[in-house]
Amino acid sequence: MTSLPAPAAKKLGLVIDLDTCVGCHACAVACKEWNDGGSFGPLTDENPYAAEPLGVWFNRVHSYEVTRTPTPCGGDAPAAATAATMSVHFPRSCLHCETPACVSVCPTGASYKRAGDGIVLVDEDKCIGCQLCSWACPYGAREFSARHGTMQKCTLCVDRIYNETLDEADRQPACVLACPTRARHFGDLGDEHSAVSKLVAERGGYALMPELGYRPVNRYLPPRPRRDTAAQPDAPKPEPLDRAQLSPLLRWVDRVLSR
Amino acid sequence: MPHAELKLDTPTGDVVKTTTCYMCACRCGIRVHLKDGRVRYIDGNPQHPVNRGVICAKGSAGIKQHYSPARLSKPLLRVGERGAGEFREIEWDEALELAAQWLGAIRARNPDELAFFTGRDQSQALTGWWAQQFGTVNYAAHGGFCSVNMAAAGLYTLGGSFWEFGEPDWERTKYLMLWGVAEDHDSNPIKTGLGKLKERGAKIVAVNPVRSGYGAIADEWVPINPGTDGLLAGALIHELLRTDRIDLDFLVRYTNAHHLVIHEPGAADDGLVARDALGHALCAARPGARHPAASRSGNVDYVVVRADEPDIAPLVVGEYLVGNARRAVPAFQLLAERYLDDGFSPDAVAPRCGVPAETIRRLARELATTAFDEAITLEQPWTDAWGREHATMTGRPVAMHAMRGISAHVNGFHTCRALHVLQMLLGAIDTPGSFRYQPPFPKPAPPANRPGRTRKDNGALDAAPLGFVHTPADLLVDAEGRPRRIDKAYSWEYPLAAHGLMHAVIRNAWAGDPYRIDTLLMFMANMGWNSAMNTTETRRMLCDRDPATGEYRIPHIIYADAYASETVAFADLVLPDTTYLERHDAISLLDRPISDADAASDAIRQPVVAPDRDVRPFQDVLLDLGARLNLPGMVDDAGQPKYPRGFAQYMVEHERAPGVGLLAGWRGADGTREGRGEPNPRQLEHYIAHGCHWHAPVPAAGRYYKMANRAYLDWAHGLGFIGAAEPVVLQLYCETLQRFRLAALGHGERQPPARERERVARHFDPLPQWYAALEGNEADAAYPLAAITQRPMFMYHAWGSQNAWLRQIAARNVLYLHPDTARAHGVADGDWIWLASPRARIRVQARHHAATAPGTLWTWNAIGKSKGAWKLAADAPESRDGFLLNHLIGDELDDGSYANADPVTGQAAWFDLRVRIECDAEPLLPGTRTLMIEGTCT
């Protein structure tokens, strides 16, 4: 069993905005690309051009149709039948929990939580591939590489974020830099003044399944209230046009326009 | 590595080179990180104006594209039967000599016997010019299949268009309506823009039968029945007119709403704009100090004056006399009469659209409230085209964007026109907060360049093969009015076919209608698979022999591609291209610009790695072939190749007009000129030093109202974007269409043959109209469901979806249907079912999906592959389970009378597909390709 370090002030993590995620998989592939050739790669691909291509991904995007409170629609056909659901795209990766069971169950110390910044990593040299950690993680964040016989997972791009050979602006996780809708944010969630902490406070960011007690660091921002039918302006009272009596065109006859 | 030694400071690579992505048509700037001579990593270039550092799933997966096992490696000559995929490798010299031999004979005999069609490439500035020099009219790219309705409707109406040639004002719009957009041009900028809108709390409305990615984050999803968007737009227009919530001042300043239209039924000029002796459009206006002498119509005093005169008070309704006492009415009145008709009332269109009337009325109110009650004022002084100074810019913060869901129907041209009319009525064209033009647009509506029609003494065409017809005289028809192009573009059948009809080429060439060709040359155009409708039949036609001679009906097929795509198997000669990381390219303003609304941009690709195979960039090959054929412009006076160093040399040295070349940046001998200037031998070095792109900001005073903004027009003219710094008049009423209608009614020198008259007269309506289907293709009760595709964001565009990483996201597609639809047909989630159209039957797996309009079925495009293609294993899910709807879509109307295409533009109507569900006796038995397409083994 592996022990956890003393809680640190710094809690690096991601804030993922479910309001703007369009499910494009940019984050997932950018992650795959960076890490495949990086310090924690390769992320093996099994049968890349054959039946059932499978491989290791540190970040995956899932799409759901979820039921929401029905909106009174009063109409017929498509609108009424479809209004009660919403589509959510949900990127999933390691949440870098404060009390990660995946670490505490590890028999060799391969899984560990960094004392300084809270990033959860796997030391492949120590990993025996027992997969206890993937049983322990309720979030499905760990991936087993059958070829290497070891466990792999999101590193929060630890080999980017501290990498002084990169421009400072590039020292962010690959998924964050790639995201076209800017739905992903990286920072110190232990610092209440950080941009990500403020974002979480403003938008009501939440942790996934906090009741399990693993205290995830990553936060998800919920979809903002949708401005659909509720946002409608009051119906104006248009002048009734009795076309039998009066051509509707006549009201424009006296309009003085300026070119 | 043991983590005790974990090195967190490993450089990404040894070298970083910038270039331009080619994984879709978005053309983002990328940084390619190289390590030990191999590509280690590709990321977005933060300095690039298109993507500002972001990169999509495809862009990141470019590394797998570059190292794909499906790359071709050597020129191939067919040794087996067509379609069998049996080739022998040959040397480049043999390949080019053979091609030159075939093409040389054609050019000596009749250059039109070469049909040259390119795919979704971005090299049309070269390929179109090459076809022009060769002298064939039979050239086009992918646009006729893709979205020409958007381009044509936009360019004939606004002098600009949606697509990637315009954009919502992402910084200022408060209300964005997306029509038929599910991942599309301009992919990353749209996503980035949507992120900004969500942050600002702008409302996003997605009109689409399916709620996919963009719809998912929209505030409101309006599930609409496919092909009825023109009715919904019409009902919104109806409501705006009915409630008098329109911007009449905008209309008379920037559109032709006040232009007088001759109203003399039966006359040769009925429906044309009244003009003075010099051709200036006329309008009726209230008398004023400058024009005191008035006539009277009813109770209204009026004068007839030039419509472009500033500071007049134009009249937009009424009947007036012009010239020799001829009756005329303002265009606006005709439009108002059309749309105030009860046929466009929300109640009338609601059942057909599947959108409740109250929703339509509310959407119209929201549009008007945002445009007028929440108008914005920008403290930006500007001068209009007539020299008047304004202290501020008024903005109508309602923006729209539309793509395939609008275009890929037989009514797409008119539907797109209706959307532009809706925008005009709201005063929401190129104002703060609305749709904005991206330079070099706007251009005159329509743009001035006509398609080339005649050959010069040197065999070259007088102009590029693609352009814009203005009158029947510009058509490519013979003395009897028959089509001159193999695809019948610019004929009376599809007069405004500005992008050609890629989807008609193979059938017409096979049938010899209107004539036989000798060689079909294709570049990256997968016309034997997903760039075809009626795919099975199309593949059969490619292999069919003439029983009289035993020869193939299409005698020669030359195909250039970097990958072993489906069409390779049908080629006689295969010319292997490089990957996008191995060649030079110009992303030219003469072709498909990558500008944004605030700046003009162009870019290059540079080779960042050397090919490890015996392949050549297709652009180099074309120039080599051109020199072997002695084509004008490709050899010097001594007959020697003019561009022996290939396309890189051409990009720098070629001048389309004096001082105008493919690249606008760093021109002039010293590299200080922009837009126009003599060639600069060091131009590419400048591009490379600047991240491979050039970016010229529009002057601050010229960023809105570009159609009539002095600062913009002068700037655009200075850079060579427009021929004259004259305002662009938006065409609420499209006089060009009326010219064709008049010809069909028996007026003018060039008239359609008897067979085409009624059809041309019906569809060339100068005001937008709506029709459900074409004669010969009426809705058949036996096929009650609509079937469409959506573009998966991770495989947009379709090319290259054999990618090792992307196929892990989806290697098979399924058919999605609403649970109610499924229940009505007894289809359980996961069942295998048959999908039948009048053309074919395919076996597909069904999935319930609540975010689909009942009555519509859909699937992801781009996933289904032909067995054996793309170097995928024989049991790959793409060919075993994946499918294309293309097999079900007719390439012709059901009665065989015309192509399955918009009668105005020839746009392929692949979203008009109607199908029925047929249950399978063994719904749990998985599909295989042999079962999927009944009667064939493809």
Of the candidate ranges B54-58, B515-519, B770-774, the one whose mean pLDDT is the lowest: B770-774
pLDDT band at A7 (very low <50, low <70, confident <90, very high): confident
Beta partners for residue A221, in sequence order:
A17
B316 has a chain A CB within 8 A of its CB: yes
List the 359-398 stretch of B: residues with Cβ below 8 A of A. Answer: 359, 361-362, 365-366, 369
CB contact under 8 A, B365 and A232: yes
Q: Name which of A19, A20, A21, A29 to mutate to probe chain B: the one with the most chain B Cβ atoms within 10 A of its Cβ.
A: A29
B219: closest chain A residue by CA: A226
Q: Which of A77-86, A104-113, A126-135, B497-506 has the lowest mean pLDDT?
A: A77-86
Mean pLDDT of B849-877: 93
Whether residues A126 and B2 touch (CB distance < 8 A) is answered with: yes
B103 touches chain A (CB under 8 A): no
CB-nearest partner of B43 from A177, A180, A241: A177
What CA–CA distance (Å, rounded) separates B690 from A149?
Answer: 45
Chain B nearest-CA distance from A30, in A, is 5
Chain A hits for B361, CB-CB cut-off 8 Å, are 235
* Contact criterion met (CB < 8 Å) for B219 and A226: yes
pLDDT band at B775 (very low <50, low <70, confident <90, very high): low
List all residues of chain B from 568 to 607 with a beta carbon under 8 Å from chain A.
Answer: none
C-alpha dist (Å) from residue B274 to B258, B545, B760: 11, 55, 23
Q: Is the pLDDT of residue B857 over 90?
A: yes
When pLDDT is averaged across residues B556-565 and rounded to a whole number, the result is: 96
Name every chain A residue with its beta carbon within 8 A of the beta carbon of B57. 24-26, 28-30
Examine the pLDDT at B448 and tell me if it is beyond 70: yes
- Flag if B355 and A78 touch (Cβ within 8 Å): yes
Which residue in chain A is spatially nearest to B337 when comparing CA positions?
A249
The confidence score (pLDDT) of residue B802 equals 83
> What distance in Å separates the CA atoms of residue B643 and residue B656, rounded to the nearest whole number?
15
Residue B162 makes CB contacts below 8 A (sequence gap 6+) with B150, B154, B400, B401, B402, B403, B416, B435
- Interval B220-230: pLDDT, tens: 999 999 999 99
Question: What is the end-to-end Cα distance of chain B in Å, rounded?
Answer: 48
Residues 46-75 of B with CB under 8 A from A: 46, 51, 53-61, 63, 69
Are A252 and B336 a contacting pair at CB < 8 A?
yes
Give A33's contacts in chain B (Cβ within 8 Å). Answer: 41-42, 60-61, 63, 805
Give B273 to chain A, closest Cα distance, Å: 18
- What pLDDT score does A82 carry? 60
Segment A127-143 shows an average pLDDT of 96
Is position B124 within any domain? yes
> Mean pLDDT over residues B443-450, rounded?
97
Contact B311 A228 (CB under 8 A): no
pLDDT confidence tier of residue B245, bands split at 50, 70 and 90: very high
Q: How confident is the model at residue B298 (pLDDT cuts 50, 70, 90)?
A: confident
DSSP assignment, residue B373?
A: I
Q: Does B671 touch chain A (CB under 8 A)?
A: no
- Across the interface, do A181 and B215 touch by the CB < 8 Å criterion? no
> pLDDT tens digits for B183-235?
888 899 999 999 999 999 999 999 999 998 899 999 999 999 999 999 999 99
CA distance A174 to chain B (A): 9
**Predicted confidence band of residue A70 (pLDDT cuts 50, 70, 90):** very low
The reported pTM is 0.96
**Is A79 an interface residue toward B (CB < 8 Å)?**
yes
Please tell me the distance from the alpha carbon of residue B640 to that of residue A242, in angstroms, as a whole number: 78
Residue B41 has its nearest CB partner, among A19, A33, A259, at A33
**For chain B, how many structural domains are there in total?**
2
* Position B815 pLDDT exceeds 90: yes
For residue B619, the domain's CATH number is 3.40.50.740
The CATH code belonging to domain A12-225 is 3.30.70.20
Check whether A78 has a pLDDT greater than 50: no
Query: pLDDT band for position B925 (50/70/90)?
Result: confident
Compute the distance between CA of residue A27 and CA of residue A48 in angstroms, rounded to an integer: 20
Q: What's residue B813's pLDDT?
A: 94
Tokens 């030079």 -> residue: B584
Whether residues A26 and B60 touch (CB distance < 8 A) is answered with: yes
Minimum-distance CB partner of B314 among A28, A77, A259: A259
For the stretch B263-294, pLDDT in tens is 999 999 999 999 999 999 999 999 999 999 88
> Do residues B800 and B67 lie in contact, with contact meaning Cβ atoms separated by under 8 Å?
no
For B199, name the nearest residue in chain A, comparing CA atoms only. A20
Which of B1, B8, B384 to mutate against chain A (most A CBs within 10 Å)? B8
The verdict on residue B580 lying in a domain is yes
Q: What is the Cα–Cα distance from B551 to B554, expressed in whole angstroms? A: 8
Region of poorest pLDDT, from A202-211, B94-103, B404-413, B773-782: B773-782
Long-range Cβ pairs for the range A122-129 (8 Å, 24+) = A122/A150, A122/A151, A122/A152, A122/A153, A123/B2, A123/B3, A124/A40, A124/A148, A124/A150, A124/A152, A124/B1, A125/B1, A125/B2, A125/B3, A126/B2, A127/A151
3-state class of B894 per DSSP?
A: coil
Which residue in A has a C-alpha nearest to residue B374's C-alpha?
A233
Q: Which residues of B touch A47 (CB under 8 A)?
A: 873
Residue B390 pLDDT: 98
Instruction: Please judge whether A180 and B51 are an interchain contact, meaning their C-beta atoms are less than 8 angstroms apart.
Output: yes
pLDDT, position B8: 86
Residue A16, pLDDT above cutoff 80:
yes
Average pLDDT in chain A? 89
Q: Using the beta-carbon criterion (under 8 Å), do B252 and A158 form an inter-chain contact?
A: no
Question: What percent of chain B is modeled with pLDDT above 70?
Answer: 98
* Closest Cα in chain A to B357: A75
> Which residues of chain B have a CB within 8 Å of the CB of A84?
850
Would residue B42 count as lying in a domain? no
- Residue numbers of A between 198 and 227 with CB closer than 8 Å to B: 223-224, 226-227
Q: Is A48 on the interface with B (CB under 8 A)?
A: yes
Pair B721, B749: CB distance under 8 Å? no
Does residue B586 form part of some domain?
yes
Interface test with A, best of B45, B60, B248, B365 (most A CBs within 10 A): B60
pLDDT recorded at residue A233: 56
Task: Give the pLDDT of residue B419.
Answer: 98
Distance CA B591, CA B258 (A): 34
d(CA B213, CA A24): 7
- The average pLDDT across B635-651 equals 97
Structural contact between residues B279 and B291, judged by C-beta atoms closer than 8 angstroms: no
The answer to whether B880 faces chain A, any CB pair under 8 Å, is yes
Question: What is the rounded average pLDDT for all residues in chain B?
Answer: 95
Please measure the distance between the N-terminal and C-terminal CA atoms of chain A and give it in whole angstroms. Answer: 81
Compute how many other C-beta atoms are within 10 angstroms of the C-beta atom of residue B783.
16
The band of B388, judged by pLDDT with boundaries at 50, 70 and 90, is: very high
A192 to chain B nearest CA, in Å? 21
**Residue B855 at interface with chain A, using a CB cutoff of 8 Å:** yes
**Smallest Cα–Cα separation from B904: which of B734, B722, B750?**
B734
Q: Do B359 and A30 touch (CB under 8 A)?
A: no
Domain presence at residue B60: no
Question: Is the minimum CB–CB distance between A250 and chain B shorter than 8 Å?
Answer: yes
Q: Do B9 and A255 touch (CB under 8 A)?
A: no
Question: Is residue B777 scored above 90 in pLDDT?
Answer: no
| CA–CA dist B370, B580 (Å, integer) | 44
pLDDT tops 80 at residue A234: no
A74–chain B Cβ distance below 8 A for any pair: yes
Instruction: Tell me whether A191 touches chain B (CB under 8 Å).
Output: no
A50 and B CB contact within 8 Å: yes
Residue of chain A minimizing CA distance to B333: A249
| pLDDT surpasses 60 at A74 | no
* Model confidence pLDDT, tens digit, residues B788-806: 999 899 988 777 668 999 9
| Burial of B690 (C-beta count, 10 Å sphere; 0-12/13-18/19+) | middle
Per-residue model confidence as pLDDT tens digits over B120-144: 777 899 999 999 999 999 999 999 9
The closest CB to that of B313, out of A77, A87, A256, belongs to: A256
Q: What is the pLDDT of residue A76?
A: 40
Please give the interface size between A and B, counted as residue pairs whose CB atoms are below 8 Å apart.
308
Residue B888 domain flag: yes
Using an 8 Å CB-CB cutoff, list chain A residues near B244: 238-239, 251-252
- State the residue range of the domain holding B485: 91-146+453-602+615-659
Mean pLDDT of B753-774: 95
Is pLDDT of B503 > 80? yes
Lowest mean pLDDT: which of B41-45, B76-80, B588-592, B778-782? B778-782
